Structure 1
Amino acid sequence: MCGIFGWALRGKHRQDHETLVRLTNLMNHRGPDGAGYWQGDTAGGHNQVSLGHRRLSIIDLEGGAQPMWSADRSIGLVLNGEIYNYVELREELVSLGHAFRTSSDTEVLIEAYRAWGLDSIKRFRGMFAFGLWDARTQQLVLARDPFGKKPLFIAEHAGLLFASEIEPLLKFPGMNTQIDPHAVEHYLLNRYVPGPRTFFQAVRKLPPGCHLVWREGRTNITRYFTPPLASAEPDITTFGEAVRMFKATFDDAVRIRMRSDVAFGAYLSGGIDSSAVVAAMVRHSSERLRTFSVGFREAGYSELDHARTIARQFDTNHEEIVLEPHDFMKSWPTAVLRRGAPAAEPADIPVMMLSHMAASKVKMVLTGEGADELLGGYPKHRAELWIELYQRLVPQAIHDRIISPAMRALPYDMRRAKIVTSAAGERDWPSRMQLWFGGVSLNERDRIIGRPLPVTPPDSHPFSMAAGSNVRRTLFFDQTSWLPDNLLERADRMMMAGSIEGRMPFMDTSLAKLVARFPDSFLVGRSGGKSVLRAAMQHTLPRGILTRKKIGFRVPIEEWFRGPYREFISDLLVCDGARVASFCDRDVLRQLVNEHLARRQNHEKVLWSLANLELFLRAFKPSS
């Protein structure tokens, strides 16, 4: 797990070594264990190529320094991430006559590329983003893992630049830092900016499951992976067989993610996902496992008691932190800076703080991210089973004139019921996906901004699965938008802010191929969803963990905004110097704050989004 940075610039725009070092080192939190830099010219000297690397040492502590070069110095690589199946790939490559000087997965990637070219990327079972210079073909190759667990930002400025985080690109000499106004619109609708956009016009994301080839100033992006849901048929029809196959594949996904030359542990929330990961890790560990949890004093929010239950059952070396409002608020601006965007979820900050604590004991953790998006664990997945019937039975006019107003009049604390009602009445598929996670509607967005705006089309890929059930289409959206552009982005930035590598067994491609063969009923057919996972853990985890209602990783931000930090949120958004007022109607901002503080409406999510937008604008000061 590292930070990478580099470029391919037209000759007249070449930069000195000091610029490469300075901008790479902006990511030293991603790689505090070492650094490496290289610069060279393409044939004929028309372009300059540079590779920078910050290293967090996990595999082959002595031999894994980067940039790493092939034996003949023709291929150079900077890698962020891990290739979990590097042992198996290495054995195959040795049988083909390849020789190795190190035990690093980085060298395996180089030799795999030498053997199979760009097709090698499809063989990698891992999380990765890399930049590879091939002097033989004079091409720079950039690639990102199938689900987008590792970030890769690119900018076409005097050539091509790439980085693990946005800040080095923004600090590059002469870079345009103008904000993308369409990104603000999408942020209000989704609570995050869907890729390939970022908040900056000049910077975009390389999409997950894609590789980019730069040669002589021209770039070409190719998608090499699409989630298996798009093509697989649900052909596993026996529930018991599905459970058996899931247990074996999940166990293997955990096992290969425990490959490490440094101390590691697990983040444990007490939910079924992280508990399943811990249970599998204990089976494969010869030492007592370390687990880490974060929680709150407020009743109804903290899951620490459940995490302790699992820690006791599996006799882990368990540590936890209880997060106080003051500590949360103090760390909040740092989280926005590290994310390079507004913190889409309040949970970003606890994850960052937990990572700083865990980094004193381990360098790598396994987590439960991705289980809901793979296995159908959200209430929306179960709701999608009946929404088509609701829309056939209830005319749109009845929904808009009677049901929707009645739901809006419900008490302050009925936020989830309001979201379900709003989504159930939305017949436009992209708009419904936005509403499920509490984003505002198009009309509400226009009201906040203060004027009607045309609808800027989102990236089409997350909505490209035309066939299949509503549940499968929703899962496809989750796996191609919500996950890479929000949850996985949070996991990477917040863990790496604490110099911790996070590995996610539920995001294993082999597991995804298997689950795509399950019918909907094996996923969302029982209470709580994730039916196969619950059955697989039936004799492993306590019944109380398997059956308790999902609450998610919630932060008591609603109570804090109405309690000790009511003046903070009011001053942040409606003060004379509020930068967010340049995008939003100041009177509407004041109304949202007042309604929330007076408990007339629960605007927790939109206020969180707007407050983070304000902190982001203050931290990055983009040109208007």
Structure 2
Amino acid sequence: MCGIAGLFDTRSKQMFSRDLMQRMNDSQQHRGPDEGGYHFEPGVALGHRRLSIIDISTGQQPLFNEDGSVVVVFNGEIYNYQELIPELTALGHQFHTRSDTEVIVHAWESWGEECVKRFRGMFAFALWDRNRQTFFMARDRMGVKPMYYAVLRDGTLMFGSELKVLMQHPGLDKTMDPHAIEEYFALGYVAEPRTIFAGALKLEPGFSLTIRHGQPLPEPKQYWDVNFSLDNAMSLADASAELVERLRESVRLRMVAEVPLGAFLSGGVDSSAVVATMAGISPDPVNTCSIAFDDPAFNESAFAQMVADRYHTNHRVEMVKSDDFDLIDTLAALYDEPYADSSAIPTYRVCQLARKHVTVALSGDGGDENMGGYRRYRFHMMEEKMRGGLPHSVRKPVFGLLGRLYPKADWAPRVFRAKTTFEALARDSVQAYFHSVSILRDDMRRQLFSPSFRRQLGGYNALEVFRRHAAKAGTDDNLALIQYLDIKTYLVGDINTKVDRASMAHSLEVREPLMDHPLVEWLASLPTKLKIKGQEGKFVFKKAMEPMLPNDVLYRPKMGFSVPLARWFRGPLKERVQKALLGETLASTGLFNREYLQHLVDAHQSGARDYSSPLWTLLMFEAFLRNSGLGVQTSPIVRAA
């Protein structure tokens, strides 16, 4: 795992400053503490920070082809590189290292931009081909590895593994994008391809960008998408057996390393399945690590211990106090833009623990999205059955009116919240799912934002992110559609972002077997009935794992990796919340309605409402402003939409 950075002059051949390139590269030294490398030529500057995992002795970057005409910087792992080497050798290429990085330059020479379709792994890379006068960058299919870029007014393209790399350049436009702010307060992250800054973008998963020197800058090109065909007519028994074999292959590929390797073990189904599979492959005990909480309501460590005992792993557990909230500013600096998933705290801690013992850790991330594990999926499907009784053209006016007239009853059990039910029935499928995952829902954001900021938004709603992806989903199956939406949004913007930054902060490489793209494609071919049966999510996965895992692990209620925000904000963080939300930093932006901020604070701290998620979202936004230098100031920090 590494960090990459670079500059490319799309118009002329200026020589870039070595000092600037070094500042950009050094800003991500945590991603690669082992070595740093550079390449400079007219119009091109490339930087790399290395965390040595494979081919430790000769895998330095930037790396070149035989005649030095193609140079690449690469972050990630190409797991099938050993299969590609003989094929590329037969085409006449000569290899001088044993690294997966060298496969990229030779694959580019033979297959051009189609090379990415041959790679199996997690990757973000950029290369320069002097003979073709072409710059090429690409990101892996599932968005495990990040890629940020910006094009400056003078035609300079810059890129990096983290937004902080781009922030080192004085030419970056750091005014905030109002649409990104709207997305953040709806979703808790800024969705691809936006960043919080108007002048920077993320390359979307499964996309590449080919730039020929001196020609107009093209749009990124999509080279992969997941197809929810649902047309695989396998029996439950056959699907279970094949799932075990596919998982075994994916895990085996991810166990190749020349450094200590282990796994996260949370006690949930996904990480437990990965550990069980690793134990069946490794001749030595698997290294596992878990975080335990001193609050029983958040503690899954007993279930992790069951799996550790069954497979005799080298298991390490570290107790985290339930008042572990000292990381707020650390996280704000780490993520570079507003990010509101509070499970970033325990994720940071488990990566910190793992790095004491291993350099590579396998995780269970991606299982819920690919196999239908979230409880919200089952709620959505139940609502869809109700919505299916009437066309949307009838439901929207009838139930919309009832929803407006019926009194609000958030205090009541869900079944008695008729207002909520009427409103849900008035929505279409995409709008309903967006509403269910929003941190601050539409009415809350309308009250939160100031009139002047709402005018800047010009009617833009973060729902458009879901609309854009839904238009490409190619399915109207109730489950498949929202799985597709999560793979394109939540998995990338929240889960993968969280794990990448938390692990790289500790120079730890995390690999995700459940995001292996052949496995993802196969799972997308399975019908919904194999993923959710009644109230049981991940049905086929749990059946497949029954011989390998205890029933108490497989069939207990999902707990999640959460922290006690509600209690924090009424107790030890009470004054901090008041200061952050009602202080000068947020007030100076002109973005917010102070009366509504006061309502959120007062209603939560009095116990009248649980506003813990909105409060955390605002707290992290305030911390972002302070840590990015965009706090109290007189110049505009938001660009008009």
Q: TM-score range by the shorter chain?
A: over 0.9
Q: 2:481 matched to 1:485?
A: no
1:535-546 to structure 2, matched below 5 A, reads 535-546=543-554
1:284-363 to structure 2, matched below 5 A, reads 284-325=281-322, 328-363=324-359
Is the contact between residue 148 and residue 209 of structure 1 (CA under 8 Å) also seen in structure 2? Answer: yes
- 2:424 maps to 424
1:114-193 to structure 2, matched below 5 A, reads 114-157=109-152, 158=154, 159-193=156-190
**What is the CA distance between 1:338 and its match in structure 2?**
1.2
- 2:616 maps to 608
Give the Cα–Cα distance (whole angstroms) in 2 for the partners of residues 500 and 561 of structure 1: 32
Distance change >3 Å, CA 422–CA 189, structure 1 → 2: farther
- 1:437 maps to 437
SS in 2 for 1:235: coil
Match of 2:88 among 73, 93, 96: 93
Distance change >3 Å, CA 560–CA 399, structure 1 → 2: farther
Aligned length: 615
**What is the CA distance between 1:23 and its match in structure 2?**
1.1
1:266-325, Cα deviation, whole Å (9 max, x unpaired): 011100000000000111112221111113211211111111111111111111222225
> TM-score, normalization: structure 1?
0.94
1:169-222, Cα deviation, whole Å (9 max, x unpaired): 122022211111111111111221111011000001011101101112433321
Is the contact between residue 251 and residue 277 of structure 2 (CA under 8 Å) also seen in structure 1? Answer: yes
Q: 2:13 matched to 1:8?
A: no
Match of 2:460 among 455, 458, 480: 455
Distance change >3 Å, CA 166–CA 459, structure 1 → 2: farther
1:386-425 to structure 2, matched below 5 A, reads 386-393=382-389, 395-396=395-396, 399=399, 408-411=408-411, 421=421, 424-425=424-425
**What is the CA distance between 1:408 and its match in structure 2?**
4.6
Q: 2:231 matched to 1:234?
A: yes
Give the Cα–Cα distance (whole angstroms) in 2 for the partners of residues 460 and 396 of structure 1: 17
Give the Cα–Cα distance (whole angstroms) in 1 for the partners of residues 340 and 423 of structure 2: 20
SS in 1 for 2:491: helix
Q: 2:224 matched to 1:225?
A: yes
Give the Cα–Cα distance (whole angstroms) in 2 for the partners of residues 421 and 533 of structure 1: 32
**What is the CA distance between 1:507 and its match in structure 2?**
0.4
Moved more, 450-459 or 132-141: 450-459
- 1:527 maps to 535
Moved more, 329-338 or 417-426: 417-426
Is the contact between residue 580 and residue 614 of structure 1 (CA under 8 Å) also seen in structure 2? Answer: no
Distance change >3 Å, CA 299–CA 162, structure 1 → 2: same
**What is the CA distance between 1:95 and its match in structure 2?**
3.4
1:500-519 to structure 2, matched below 5 A, reads 500-519=508-527
Give the Cα–Cα distance (whole angstroms) in 1 for the partners of residues 580 and 325 of structure 2: 13
Give the Cα–Cα distance (whole angstroms) in 1 for the partners of residues 577 and 483 of structure 2: 34
Moved more, 212-221 or 82-91: 212-221
Give the Cα–Cα distance (whole angstroms) in 2 for the partners of residues 83 and 449 of structure 1: 44
Is the contact between residue 306 and residue 545 of structure 1 (CA under 8 Å) also seen in structure 2? Answer: yes
SS in 2 for 1:128: strand
Give the Cα–Cα distance (whole angstroms) in 2 for the partners of residues 51 and 506 of structure 1: 32
Give the Cα–Cα distance (whole angstroms) in 2 for the partners of residues 408 and 250 of structure 1: 47
Moved more, 392-401 or 29-38: 392-401
- 2:586 maps to 578
Q: Which amino acid aligns with 2:146?
A: P
Match of 1:277 among 274, 288, 295: 274
Is the contact between residue 402 and residue 419 of structure 2 (CA under 8 Å) also seen in structure 1? Answer: no
SS in 1 for 2:48: strand
Give the Cα–Cα distance (whole angstroms) in 1 for the partners of residues 416 and 577 of structure 2: 23
Distance change >3 Å, CA 224–CA 291, structure 1 → 2: same
SS in 1 for 2:378: helix
Give the Cα–Cα distance (whole angstroms) in 2 for the partners of residues 525 and 206 of structure 1: 36
Moved more, 560-569 or 605-614: 560-569
SS in 2 for 1:578: helix
1:221-249, Cα deviation, whole Å (9 max, x unpaired): 210001122xx342224111111111111
Where structure 2 has 5 or more consecutive residues not aligned to the other structure, the ranges are 631-635
**What is the CA distance between 1:349 and its match in structure 2?**
1.8
SS in 2 for 1:52: strand
1:358-377 to structure 2, matched below 5 A, reads 358-377=354-373
**What is the CA distance between 1:410 and its match in structure 2?**
4.0
Distance change >3 Å, CA 381–CA 587, structure 1 → 2: same
> TM-score, normalization: structure 2?
0.91
Give the Cα–Cα distance (whole angstroms) in 2 for the partners of residues 399 and 131 of structure 1: 51
**What is the CA distance between 1:386 and its match in structure 2?**
2.9
**What is the CA distance between 1:28 and its match in structure 2?**
0.2
Where structure 1 has 5 or more consecutive residues not aligned to the other structure, the ranges are 42-47
**What is the CA distance between 1:103 and its match in structure 2?**
0.7
**What is the CA distance between 1:560 and its match in structure 2?**
1.3
Distance change >3 Å, CA 579–CA 302, structure 1 → 2: farther
Give the Cα–Cα distance (whole angstroms) in 2 for the partners of residues 377 and 599 of structure 1: 31
SS in 2 for 1:228: coil
Give the Cα–Cα distance (whole angstroms) in 2 for the partners of residues 371 and 407 of structure 1: 39
Give the Cα–Cα distance (whole angstroms) in 2 for the partners of residues 228 and 306 of structure 1: 35
SS in 2 for 1:573: helix
Is the contact between residue 373 and residue 478 of structure 1 (CA under 8 Å) also seen in structure 2? Answer: yes
Root-mean-square deviation (CA), in Å? 2.4
- 1:29 maps to 30
Is the contact between residue 24 and residue 54 of structure 1 (CA under 8 Å) also seen in structure 2? Answer: yes
Is the contact between residue 420 and residue 436 of structure 1 (CA under 8 Å) also seen in structure 2? Answer: no
Give the Cα–Cα distance (whole angstroms) in 2 for the partners of residues 128 and 416 of structure 1: 48
Give the Cα–Cα distance (whole angstroms) in 2 for the partners of residues 72 and 12 of structure 1: 21
Give the Cα–Cα distance (whole angstroms) in 1 for the partners of residues 516 and 127 of structure 2: 24
Is the contact between residue 582 and residue 597 of structure 2 (CA under 8 Å) also seen in structure 1? Answer: yes
**What is the CA distance between 1:69 and its match in structure 2?**
0.5
1:12-45, Cα deviation, whole Å (9 max, x unpaired): 864311211121110000000100001112xxxx
SS in 2 for 1:330: coil
Distance change >3 Å, CA 438–CA 173, structure 1 → 2: closer
SS in 2 for 1:551: coil
SS in 1 for 2:267: coil
Give the Cα–Cα distance (whole angstroms) in 2 for the partners of residues 181 and 331 of structure 1: 27
**What is the CA distance between 1:537 and its match in structure 2?**
0.3
Moved more, 536-545 or 285-294: 285-294
Distance change >3 Å, CA 233–CA 197, structure 1 → 2: same
1:385-423, Cα deviation, whole Å (9 max, x unpaired): 332331255855675566788795243897998998588
Distance change >3 Å, CA 80–CA 301, structure 1 → 2: same
Distance change >3 Å, CA 342–CA 407, structure 1 → 2: farther
**What is the CA distance between 1:67 and its match in structure 2?**
0.1
Distance change >3 Å, CA 21–CA 417, structure 1 → 2: farther
Q: Which amino acid aligns with 2:117?
A: K
SS in 2 for 1:553: coil
Q: Which amino acid aligns with 1:519?
A: P
Identity of aligned residues (%): 33
Q: Which amino acid aligns with 1:564?
A: P
1:537-557, Cα deviation, whole Å (9 max, x unpaired): 011100100110012111111
